[in-house]
Homo-oligomer: A and B are copies of this chain.
Amino acid sequence: MMPEQLTIGEYLTERLYDLGVRHVFAVPGPFVGELIVRCDAAGLTVVRPIDGQSAGFMADAYARMRGLGVAIGGYGVGALQLVNPIAQAYAERSPVLVIGGAPGLAEPELHPLLDGRHDASPQRQVFAPLTAARAALDDPDVAFREIERVLAVMQRETHPGYLEIPRDVLDAAGHPGPAPRAAVTQSDPRALEAALNDATAMLDAAERPVMVLGVEVQRFGLQDPVLRLLANAGIPAAVTLLGKSVIGEEVPGFLGVYAGAGSRPAVRDAVESSDAVLLIGARPTDLNPGGMVPRLDPVHSIDARGDRLAIGYHTYGKVRLADFITGLAARDLRRREPMTPRDGEPTVDTLSDGPLTRDRLFARLASFLTDEMVVIADPGESLFAAADLPIRLCSEFMSPASYGARGFAIPASIGVQLAEPELRPIVLIEASAFPMTGAELATASALGLDPIVVVLHQPSEMHESLPADTIVRTSAELDVSLNEALDRSGSPYLLSVLLTASES
């Protein structure tokens, strides 16, 4: 337990440390200078990207790996550059805490954005629709409680939160007060029982049941019961693009990525011809990346998400996602034949040398991946191609597949490697998106990080002066470069791939 009479700055930074945070991503400025000093004193390493937007992407990636990320943004410029990344974190349920500074309570209201509207801070209004909980710590007496409330909601809903700290409040002493009441998040036992009975009946009656796993499987920690459903009942599983890597892909019964019309035919057929689709933490918006509209019949679906449970056309209130999935895994479901390993994979000749088509590039990359690597795919064509990369362990693949902010992957690789130093990030990014955040490779370099960045140039693109370590046109050149990249450590490796149009 913490002693009494901590200051608000001390309490906040110590709580973040307790929750596993070791790095914060900050845009320095006059309203957060002191907060940054406090973070440093509490053992939180402060990372300062070149651009504010990058701080948001880094904190998002860190949160996806560790369950909590922190972006610090001042008042005005620094904080408002975080809006786009935080909207993405909201859409993809990544729990990023945004800490905004603010003019002190005792200061005149002279900020150009505030302009006399202190009690209706425009910045708080801007973040309102993009966060699950918000607090302005303008009353020291309840500040600890407010911090706990925001953190608790973020954890429960796996969404971003927002704290605004007037800069003269940091050193005020707070009061611990009584422990916050636990939020009411219990399932109603009888509603849960009814839902489990209905789901069991639908699954047992089906000939070709299938699971579709979304990113909430990871966010709500449901990997174990999901794997039990796979192993015990033998129900095969596809993942959404956003949910790719929520389970390892070498388990029997793993189908591949389901992305509506963008899926491989075998995966699409297995899902869309199924007579019982168990959707776990897969939001409708995640099922149609790039407008690839899915064809799922609600009457044959069990749609279980963090904030909703529907079986056929029935909806169920007061049933928690975790209770439902854990309960289902404990049921004695009808047992299916063990699945053969996934089939229908595209066959690409990866051995012979020749110009690199997109297919050949990804087949080659696939053979190169190990469990010590994490693939981070920027939105765009490379993301769809990356859908078929084989991922053996959980959390080996990351992409903003639902919201789709371009330029994410390079800053994200920094957040990922700080969160999990033993992983080597492989960044896949289109050449047209590279300049958006490519400058952050200098940040990676200063931190001693060593992402391998693969920049994909379309056949039609000009590439006069490429700022790359190597430029690659053939499979053989790719092999040489990837091995050279692996031999380097402590600084980024930048690899430009000039793609050839596919033969087909």
Bound CA–CA A288/B50 (angstroms): 26
A84 in contact with B91 given A110-B285, A130-B122 (CB within 8 Å): no
Identical chains bound together, number:
2
The answer to whether A81 has its CB under 8 Å from any CB of chain B is yes
A125 in contact with B128 given A77-B403, A91-B115, A283-B115 (CB within 8 Å): yes
The answer to whether A52 has its CB under 8 Å from any CB of chain B is yes
A442 — nearest CB in chain B belongs to which residue?
Answer: B435
Residues 145-184 of chain A: 1 if any B CB is under 8 Å from the residue's CB, otherwise 0? 0000000000000000000000000000000000000000
Q: Is the CB of A112 within 8 A of B91?
A: yes
Which among B126, B128, B283 is the interface contact of A83 at CB below 8 angstroms? B126
A437 — nearest CB in chain B belongs to which residue?
Answer: B51
Q: Contacting chain B: which of A223-231, A272-280, A296-304, A404-412?
A: A404-412
Q: Is the CB of A113 within 8 A of B126?
A: no
Which among B51, B403, B438 is the interface contact of A76 at CB below 8 angstroms? B403
Interface set, chain A 63-81, CB cutoff 8 A to B:
76-77, 80-81
Interface set, chain A 399-453, CB cutoff 8 A to B:
402-407, 435-436, 438-439, 442
The answer to whether A265 has its CB under 8 Å from any CB of chain B is no
Which among B30, B122, B403 is the interface contact of A129 at CB below 8 angstroms? B122
- A140 CB → nearest B CB, Å: 24
Bound CA–CA A461/B90 (angstroms): 38
A77 in contact with B84 given A112-B283, A125-B128, A435-B50 (CB within 8 Å): yes
Q: Is the CB of B77 within 8 A of A404?
A: yes
Inside 8 A of A438's CB, which chain B residues have their CB? 439
Q: Is the CB of A84 within 8 A of B83?
A: yes
- A177 CB → nearest B CB, Å: 32
Q: How many residues of chain A are within 8 Å of chain B by beta carbon? A: 46
Inside 8 A of A221's CB, which chain B residues have their CB? none
Inside 8 A of A80's CB, which chain B residues have their CB? 83-84, 87
A79 — nearest CB in chain B belongs to which residue?
Answer: B84
Q: Is the CB of B404 within 8 A of A111?
A: no
A401 — nearest CB in chain B belongs to which residue?
Answer: B112
A114 — nearest CB in chain B belongs to which residue?
Answer: B285
Bound CA–CA A403/B291 (angstroms): 38
Bound CA–CA A406/B74 (angstroms): 14
Inside 8 A of A53's CB, which chain B residues have their CB? 53, 81
Residues 282-299 of chain A: 1 if any B CB is under 8 Å from the residue's CB, otherwise 0? 011110100100000000
Q: By DSSP majority rule, is chain A's interface helix, strand, loop, or mixed? A: helix
The answer to whether A60 has its CB under 8 Å from any CB of chain B is no
Inside 8 A of A81's CB, which chain B residues have their CB? 53, 83-84
Q: Is the CB of A113 within 8 A of B125?
A: no
Q: Is the CB of A111 within 8 A of B285?
A: yes
Inside 8 A of A442's CB, which chain B residues have their CB? 435
The answer to whether A14 has its CB under 8 Å from any CB of chain B is no
Q: Is the CB of B404 within 8 A of A110?
A: no
A128 — nearest CB in chain B belongs to which residue?
Answer: B125
Inside 8 A of A50's CB, which chain B residues have their CB? 435-436
Of residues A110, A112, A283, which shows the largest number of chain B Cβ atoms within 10 Å of its Cβ? A112
Bound CA–CA A76/B88 (angstroms): 8
The answer to whether A92 has its CB under 8 Å from any CB of chain B is yes
Bound CA–CA A471/B405 (angstroms): 36
A50 — nearest CB in chain B belongs to which residue?
Answer: B435
Bound CA–CA A30/B438 (angstroms): 24
Interface set, chain A 25-68, CB cutoff 8 A to B:
30, 50-53
Residues 177-213 of chain A: 1 if any B CB is under 8 Å from the residue's CB, otherwise 0? 0000000000000000000000000000000000000
Q: Is the CB of A113 within 8 A of B90?
A: yes
A30 — nearest CB in chain B belongs to which residue?
Answer: B291
Inside 8 A of A130's CB, which chain B residues have their CB? 122, 126
- A79 CB → nearest B CB, Å: 9
- A129 CB → nearest B CB, Å: 4
Give me 25 A-to-B residue pairs in the complex whose CB atoms sit less than 8 angstroms apart, sorted by A's number: A51-B436, A53-B81, A76-B87, A76-B403, A76-B404, A77-B404, A77-B405, A80-B87, A87-B113, A87-B126, A90-B113, A91-B112, A91-B115, A110-B284, A111-B285, A112-B283, A112-B285, A112-B286, A112-B403, A115-B283, A122-B130, A126-B126, A435-B442, A436-B439, A439-B439
A76-B404, A77-B87 known; 17 other A-B pairs, CB under 8 Å?
Answer: A30-B291, A51-B407, A51-B436, A77-B403, A80-B87, A81-B84, A83-B83, A87-B113, A90-B113, A91-B113, A110-B284, A110-B285, A112-B402, A112-B403, A126-B129, A126-B130, A436-B439
Closest 7 CB pairs of A and B: A122-B129, A91-B112, A435-B439, A112-B285, A80-B84, A83-B83, A112-B402
